[in-house]
Amino acid sequence: MRPIKLIMTAFGPYADRTEINFDELGQRGLYLITGDTGAGKTTIFDAITFALYGEASGGNREASMFRSKYAKPETPTEVELIFSYAGKEYCVKRNPEYERLKSRGEGFTTERPNALLQYPDGRVVTKLKEVNSAVVEIMGIDRNQFTQIAMIAQGDFLKLLLAPTDERKKIFQKIFKTERYHDLQERLKAEVSKLERDCAAVRSSINQFINGIVPNENEALSMQTEKAVNDEIPMSEIILLLETLIKCDSDTETELENEIKKIDGEIEKTNKAIAEAVLLKKAKEALEELRLELEEKTRLAEALSEDLKIKETAKKETDGIPQIIASIDAELDNYNERDNKKEECTKIAARIELREAESERIKKDIDTLSESIAETEKEADALKNTGEDKARLEAEKESLSGKKTSLDNLAKEIESLSEIKEELEAAQEDYKDKSKIAEEKARIYEARNRAYLDAQAGVLAELLEDGKPCPVCGSALHPAPAEKPDKAPTKEELKDIKSAMDGAQRDALEASRTAGQLRGEFEAKKSHIESLSKELLGDMSLNAKKDEIIMALSKLDEQLKRIEDAEKRKAALEEIIPKKKEKLEALQKEISDAEKAEAEDKISLNSVKERIKELEDKLRYDSRNSAERARDEFTQKRKDAEQALQNAKAVFDGNEKRIAEIKSGINENGKLLADSKQTDIEAEEAKQNDFKEERARLSAEQKDVHARWQSNRVCLSNINSKSEEIIPLEEKLMWMKALSNTANGNISGKEKIMLETYIQMTYFDRVINRANSRLMVMSGGQYELTRRKEALNNRSQIGLELDVIDHYNGTERSVKTLSGGESFKASLSLALGLSDEIQSSAGGIMLDTMFVDEGFGSLDDESLSQAIRALSGLTEGNRLVGIISHVSELKNCIDKQIVVKKEKTGGSKCTIVL
């Protein structure tokens, strides 16, 4: 990757648009980025990194902090980078998140981060994540790898040079992505811990199961059980003990079960004898109860027979009711007709009353409408001249509106004159300022030109020799040669001063021309306004004249409004009068029809009243409801008599049936008592209780034996299961622990090298080999880096400690013993070696540019020259290396420079010096 052009706008210390064309620095070699401290030298690399990856190059700055505090509020913050990769040219643009002015309204709003990437074929990617992915795909490295390869920061790599194994391991873990090996170490540790816990848990379970063995009454087996609990006998004897206990309890449980079955047979016999005795007792009690009930039911039968005869007589008395009901049903329709006629009579009477009221209302409406028609015709006649009045008022309004428009235009002209006057005054002030600047620039040029000429004369005077002619005047005598001033400008500086003077004079001339044009424009407009004011206003002021016209227009508008209202009223009246006359005719016809209908209703009312009287003379009840109630009462009376007879028959028959059942029960119980033998219930119950107590004792004993048998069976099963489980666990723990100790560097008596450290050692050796090719050059062959091979003791973690070989005295010592300048050369060599290794590991990426940041101030002249030679070696091929430094000696060593300067007004600017 090679940057072609970098454009920064409102980015970091660069308040304005700042463009750096890297092509001007050539295709290879060293160039210097120099300038004031804090001016923004490192910001150039930050801008390149931000353009590519959307992040700063270091961890101390976030992208949202790149907004320049010196930039104007309306200036957008953005970075554009044109770069080439593999011979193809790309363009990427980005802006960070920052606060900007709202495009509408007041205040600020947040500008979201955006990105754009243009491919060589013109294809464009705009989404932020897609641009980030595309840059990584093009470059072949991510942001961390890029900053480690392309930027050599002296402070960071001095830390790497002096770091112990633990710290250097963390650094390499990020650079070479060795976290997966560390994760493997941790997973092995965790697996060993888990296996140890599992084995301990299984052993604990086996001990718990042994503690759960339950002995029986056998003294020898009880003693053996105690030995098992105290871990005094081997596992095989414990298993044999459990098998013996289980066999004994199984035999005992079988014997107890047989004894319980015998007792159950005896209990069943006593149950049968007791049940028979209870049955005989109940039969005797039932026989006595049946005899008493028979006497009661016999007496009841006589009373029920008498009641049945009474109910039959009452039933015969209702035989004539059906004929009465039939006559009532035949008259029901007449009740309906009478009620309908009464309702009809009421409706006709109400209708007649309504017609009379309606006729009276219509008569009043006719009188009111006649009067309204007369008044409306009179009002319409009074409004016949409104059209002529409206035309006259509209003509007056149009005339006044034209005058008002002329006054408005005059006001705008006066306002425009005021604006021109302000512009004229500003232009005059601008001319005065620029004129002063031009005079000052001319004065400076005159003085610096004189100094330059004096310097040239002084140079010639230094070359004069007595007796030799002067190249200017030819004289061989030189009584008063010119003296060379101490501070004289160079020809280029004098050229810049003259250019500044010419520019200032052009600015002053342009300002004078602008002020003259505005003066002419002001005088012409002022004359035009005075003429127009005299024509329109006379002796009145502009505001007074406008107020007079506005008041007159207001009065005309009021008069026109009244005329328009009158016209609308006239049109409405012309529509209303025919409608009212039409309505009057309709009312007159309506009253005629109403009087005719009223006469017809009165005839119908008399006819209905006569029919009602005829019906009422024939009816026996007051209403249909009364007739229906009478009919229902007769019907219910007949039903009640029939139901009473049925109930009496049912009660009589039920009593007779119960008497027959009682007699049958007396015969059966008497026969049972005569045939059965008497049994002593209390004696049988006492015998049964003795059997039950014995059975309960045997059952409890059987339950205890079974529980002991079951518990010991479970213990035996669990011990066998756990014994099988712990064997593979312990085997796995053995080899897993050996593997974990090896990976984590915990093997007793051997070097403490972890797996991750071992992988990092391989990378570190390659980095050191690459670094030594530079360090040997920079140190004049004195120093060579080497990785420490042995630890101070076998209890310490080693592998990444760094020593230095001093070829001048043949010693090997810690890099921490190097001086400041030597440490810089060593750390720079290490950084360059690390950059080469990362670039190689990234799969053949092509970075044709590199930056080295500071650290040169600690070097003496010889070391500085050696460092420059080593860095020059980096530029072989087409690589361009930028050195970021403020060391003045580098300015003399490196011709191509990017000079960054702080502006007094705030912000920084940079220029390329070749």
Domain boundaries, the chain: 1-140+886-914, 387-539
pLDDT of 495 > 60? The answer is yes
In the chain, what percentage of residues exceed pLDDT 70?
90
Average pLDDT of the segment spanning 577-585: 79
The reported pLDDT for the residue numbered 118 is 96
Question: Across the beta sheet with 783-787, what order do the strands follow?
Answer: 783-787, 802-806, 811-814
Average pLDDT of the segment spanning 538-548: 72
Nearest alpha carbon to residue 826 among 845, 813, 839, 838: 813
Assign 3-class secondary structure to 568-597. HHHHHHHHHHHHHHHHHHHHHHHHHHHHHH
**CA pair distance 448, 442, nearest whole angstrom:** 10
Q: How far is CA 577 from CA 385, 580, 582, 634, in A?
A: 19, 5, 9, 75
Contact residues for 382 (Cβ-Cβ < 8 A; gap 6+): none
Residue 165's pLDDT band, with cuts at 50, 70 and 90, is confident
Q: Residue 168 CB: number of other CB atoms within 10 A?
A: 21
The reported pLDDT for the residue numbered 18 is 94
Written as one string, the DSSP assignment of 446-485 is HHHHHHHHHHHHHHHHHH--TTS--TTT--S--SSPPPPP
The reported pLDDT for the residue numbered 611 is 80
b/e map 110-141, b = 16+ CB within 10 Å: ebeebbbbbeeeeeebeeeeebbebbbebbbb
pLDDT of 168 > 80? The answer is no
The reported pLDDT for the residue numbered 131 is 95
The reported pLDDT for the residue numbered 275 is 78
Could you tell me which residue, 826 or 462, shows the higher pLDDT? 826
Residue 592's pLDDT band, with cuts at 50, 70 and 90, is confident
Structural tokens at position 428: 């005059």
Could you tell me which residue, 892 or 80, shows the higher pLDDT? 80
Tell me if 181 sits within 8 A of 755, measured CB to CB.
Answer: yes
- Mean pLDDT, the chain, rounded, equals 81
Which stretches does DSSP call E strand in 349-462?
A: none
**CA pair distance 729, 199, nearest whole angstrom:** 6
In the chain, what percentage of residues exceed pLDDT 90?
14
First-to-last C-alpha distance (Å) of the chain:
23
Q: What is the pLDDT of residues 291-310, one digit of tens each?
A: 887 888 888 888 888 888 88
Residue 410 one-letter amino acid = L
- Range with lowest mean pLDDT among 143-157, 236-250, 475-489: 475-489
pLDDT of 532 > 50? The answer is yes
Residue 794 one-letter amino acid = N
Average pLDDT of the segment spanning 613-629: 78
**CA pair distance 41, 910, nearest whole angstrom:** 9
The reported pLDDT for the residue numbered 675 is 67
The reported pLDDT for the residue numbered 791 is 58
**CA pair distance 114, 93, nearest whole angstrom:** 8
**CA pair distance 544, 550, nearest whole angstrom:** 10
Residue 875's pLDDT band, with cuts at 50, 70 and 90, is low
Average pLDDT of the segment spanning 38-66: 81
Q: What is the pLDDT of residues 354-384, one digit of tens each?
A: 878 888 888 888 888 788 878 877 777 777 7
Sign of CA dihedral 544, 550, 554, 557: positive
pLDDT of 873 > 70? The answer is no
Most confidently modeled of 64-73, 162-171, 529-538?
Answer: 64-73
Q: What is the pLDDT of residues 252-289, one digit of tens each?
A: 888 888 888 888 888 888 888 777 777 777 777 777 88
The reported pLDDT for the residue numbered 158 is 66
Domain 1-140+886-914 is found in CATH 3.30.1330.100: no
Could you tell me which residue, 600 or 59, shows the higher pLDDT? 600
The reported pLDDT for the residue numbered 76 is 92
The reported pLDDT for the residue numbered 353 is 83
pLDDT of 562 > 90? The answer is no
Structural tokens at position 184: 């493997």
Average pLDDT of the segment spanning 776-793: 81
Average pLDDT of the segment spanning 15-37: 90
Could you tell me which residue, 382 or 243, shows the higher pLDDT? 243
Residue 477's pLDDT band, with cuts at 50, 70 and 90, is low
pLDDT of 794 > 50? The answer is no
- Range with lowest mean pLDDT among 211-225, 667-681, 725-739: 667-681
pLDDT of 656 > 70? The answer is yes
Average pLDDT of the segment spanning 655-671: 81
Sign of CA dihedral 27, 32, 36, 41: positive
